[in-house]
Amino acid sequence: MAGKKRKFDYFDAFEEQAVVAHEMAQLLKDTVANYENDEEYLMGQIEKARELEHKGDEICHSVFEALAVEFIAPIDREDIIELTQRLDDVSDHMESAIQHFYMLNVNNMHEGAAEFTDLLCKSTKKLMTALDDFRNFKKSKKIRKLIIDVCDVEEEVDALFFAVVRKLHTEENEYALHVYKWDELFQRLENAADACEQAADRMTDVLLKNA
């Protein structure tokens, strides 16, 4: 007699997505710290990012395939879809930043980029920690604080974004192309942090619905 089919674990999938996002943040940090405007080096980093992004896409597809056939899910289907998409966005924005170092032919790394990557590693690490406890959200006494921790890092990113873009347009505006390139890149890095906060916000929605 065939064994009972194992039920899909959405919380495992969320945790796996957070791990991919943190690995992407670490790859981005490595790219910034060891930056070379060299096609072979950059294409190598882009390929590593593409592999991580593909891994993340596979997790997304497994979530959506499970939702298509299951009648009962552990939390609202719209929350599963939204959280899955926001976690995927975190990785996508960082992959886009790595790609744009090559596409925009960035010659020299901006000092602000290292600060961004430090915060993105911090944010994705806290997102991993929060999602590790998310499956216990009905009983957990620490999940709300873990979610707040993610949002606190996003506020740090906002302050950094505000400062570096202001400096870009007031003190580093001798070359318009320099301003254009880094305005584009800083926006992508800030978008990644926003996606972390949006994932945390969706987790908060789940808590409120089940209070």
The range of the structural domain enclosing residue 32 comes to 10-210
Does the residue 66 lie in any domain? yes
Does the residue 5 lie in any domain? no
Does the residue 64 lie in any domain? yes
The answer to whether residue 2 scores a pLDDT higher than 70 is no
pLDDT score recorded for residue 4: 53
- From 209, 202, 204, select the one nearest 86 (Cα to Cα): 202
Does the residue 189 lie in any domain? yes
Does the residue 1 lie in any domain? no
pLDDT score recorded for residue 5: 61
Tens-digit pLDDT profile for residues 122-133: 999 999 999 999
pLDDT score recorded for residue 164: 97
Report which of residues 73 and 3 the model is more confident about: 73
Does the residue 48 lie in any domain? yes
The answer to whether residue 1 scores a pLDDT higher than 60 is no
Report how many domains make up the chain: 1
The Cα 166–Cα 105 span in angstroms is 22
pTM for the complete prediction?
Answer: 0.94
> Is residue 211 very low, low, confident or very high in pLDDT (cuts 50, 70, 90)?
confident
Does the residue 168 lie in any domain? yes
pLDDT score recorded for residue 72: 85
Work out the mean pLDDT of the chain and round it to a whole number: 94
CATH of the domain at 169: 1.20.58.220
Does the residue 4 lie in any domain? no
Q: Average pLDDT, stretch 139-146? A: 93
The Cα 185–Cα 98 span in angstroms is 9
Q: Where are the alpha helices (DSSP H) in 70-142?
A: 77-103, 111-134
